[in-house]
A and B are shown apart, each in its own frame.
Chain A
Amino acid sequence: MKQFKSMAYPYIVWISLLIVVPMLLILVYAFTTTGNSVTTIKFSLANFAKFFSDVIFLDVLRRSLLIAVATTVVCIILGYPAAYIIANAEGRKKFMLILLVTIPTWINMLVRTYAWMGILQDDGIINTVLSFLGIGPFKMLHTSFAVILGMVYNFIPFMILQIYTSLTKMDKSLLEAASDLGANRVQAFLRVTLPLSLPGVISGITLVFLPAVSSFFIPKLLGGGQYVLIGNVIENQFLTSGNWNFGSAISLIMAVIIMISMYITKKIDKGESMEGGVKK
């Protein structure tokens, strides 16, 4: 059996080259200013100073975080009931619903986001319906509303699928036990179902928040050219202004913020389940 061990070696070389070295490059660029060639590397924190001393960049960062949080909250509010309904549906219906939730995620995100550009236009289908009903028309395209809508649209299936998985893993006899012990449906849900499905919500948050913070084509398409989030700044640094050092520093800041948020989310999750344990 030992013969097979060597089969992993080529891949180790491959990931060292294509994952480890590129990641190290981000570090190198972020902490240097003129490090475009290896011989002139000079350690510096100037890129970070530039970011944190500029109100414009801080504003962009704040807006990106706000949009991502709003997206995540909406995804939980809409995604939880959807997942709950699907988890409680019967056999074939459940299967069909899960398939219907999954199919859009496999279709190109750009294509689906592009479609919203037409739908949300001032004379688009939504405003036509609204005017017919005597409300509106509203300006929707190129607003924060459009950006959040686009993000919710793209990322909510991940939330639904995660919560659904944790709900179906749940031991149904716990609910029977709760009702035997005198809990009504609302109590049983709040005390049993909800805490047990929290891990699903947490991994759903990861899958929504992470791409929402770093997204740059949704704000570009639905927010318009003036709408800048942190992902757009990174894109500009690399593809327009060519300042890789600064771009790397921003990416690093973003990655660290994401890691911290994930850490806090996981801590809160653990804290709550501990508390639940104490109550018992």
Chain B
Amino acid sequence: MKKRSKIFSKLFMLCIMVFFYMPIVYTVVFSFNSKKSLTHWSGFSLRWYDKMFSNATMMDALGTTVTVAVLATIISTIVGTITAIGLSKSNKVLKALVERINDFPIMNPEIVTAISLLMFFSALGVQKGYITMLIAHIMFCIPYVMLSVAPKLRSLDPNLADAALDLGATPYQALIKVIIPQIMPGVVSGALVAFTMSFDDFIISYFVTGNGVSNISILVYTMSKRINPSINALSTIIILVITVVLVLINIVPVLRKWGGVKEQ
């Protein structure tokens, strides 16, 4: 009885994993297809990678995606961390208010946030494009950074910073040398969440961009009407980058831990 349920659960997980990874494997495999078909394999070739690298629109979109993600991550991590520290010393009402407002972009359907920003930028008469996309990304990334920094701040001993100040540190020194190092794990995971949120964003970017500025998601969306295996080539590169980053982040600390356990 027990053995049978074990086989069943193994089979079930296998099906789930096939379901999860089939589209990803499919994309990678067909990016190397020599013909234009997305359904029939006709031999290995790198022609779609060649096409991708010589396609200016695709390279622009790749550049936009990467630079927006990097800038949005840096800015939202710094602002989010500073704000979270500030709020942890503020009164409860202000803290609750900011948390409520932060919930809006997290809890609302993304399309609602997207149209609200679209109308906001238009009301201001701002030209939509790279800058509006970047501002929008910073806006939706900060709440996530704050969410991952806040728990670390709550578990921080408030006497620590006071002690630093008593010992003659300036508030700035107390911040940089005492508080920030203590909450660093939260800051790093916040930055990571921000990066992937920005890197993968479609809906908000799609509504707030303009003047032909696209990121990869927008490009896939607009190009999906016609068969274009270059999309698969581009997708494969994205899949590769994200997977390598994720595996490194997740596996390295664990391997180190397991290694440490073994040594003992």
Is B a genuine binding partner of A?
yes
Within 8 A of B (CB), among A3-47: 3-12, 14-15, 18-23, 25-26, 29
Q: Which residues of B contact A210 (CB under 8 A)?
A: 107, 109
Within 8 A of B (CB), among A80-125: 81-82, 85-86, 95, 97, 99-104, 106-119, 121, 123-125
Number of A-B residue pairs with CB-CB distance less than 8 Å in the complex they form = 214
Cβ-defined contact, A211 with B110, below 8 A: yes
A216 at the interface (CB under 8 A from B): yes
A254 at the interface (CB under 8 A from B): yes
Q: Which residues of B contact A158 (CB under 8 A)?
A: none
Query: What number of B residues sit within 8 Å (CB to CB) of A?
Result: 78
Cβ-defined contact, B23 with A112, below 8 A: yes
A235 at the interface (CB under 8 A from B): yes
A71 at the interface (CB under 8 A from B): no
Separation of A58 and B94 alpha carbons in the complex (Å): 41
Cβ-defined contact, A4 with B83, below 8 A: no
Within 8 A of B (CB), among A60-93: 78, 81-82, 85-86
Separation of A110 and B221 alpha carbons in the complex (Å): 7
Q: Which residues of B contact A23 (CB under 8 A)?
A: 104, 116
Cβ-defined contact, A22 with B20, below 8 A: no
Cβ-defined contact, B231 with A114, below 8 A: yes
Separation of A69 and B101 alpha carbons in the complex (Å): 28
A219 at the interface (CB under 8 A from B): no
Q: Which residues of B contact A9 (CB under 8 A)?
A: 86
Within 8 A of B (CB), among A211-228: 211, 213-214, 216-217, 220-221
Name the CB-closest residue of A to B13.
A85
A280 at the interface (CB under 8 A from B): no
Query: What number of A residues sit within 8 Å (CB to CB) of B?
Result: 77
A167 at the interface (CB under 8 A from B): no
Cβ-defined contact, A114 with B120, below 8 A: no
| Residues A118 and B86 in contact in the complex (CB < 8 Å), given A15-B101, A18-B139 | no
A231 at the interface (CB under 8 A from B): yes
Q: Which residues of B contact A106 (CB under 8 A)?
A: 196, 200, 242, 246
Cβ-defined contact, B239 with A107, below 8 A: yes
* Nearest CB of chain B from residue A7's CB, rounded to whole Å: 3
Q: Which 7 A-B pairs have the closest CB atoms?
A: A7-B86, A8-B86, A214-B109, A22-B116, A115-B23, A118-B38, A11-B83
Binding site for A on B (CB under 8 A): 9, 12-13, 16-17, 19-24, 26-27, 30, 38-40, 79, 82-83, 85-90, 94, 98, 101-102, 104-105, 107-113, 115-120, 123, 135, 139, 142, 158, 161-162, 165, 171, 175, 196, 199-200, 202-203, 207, 216-217, 220-221, 224, 231-232, 235, 238-239, 242-243, 246-247, 250-251, 254
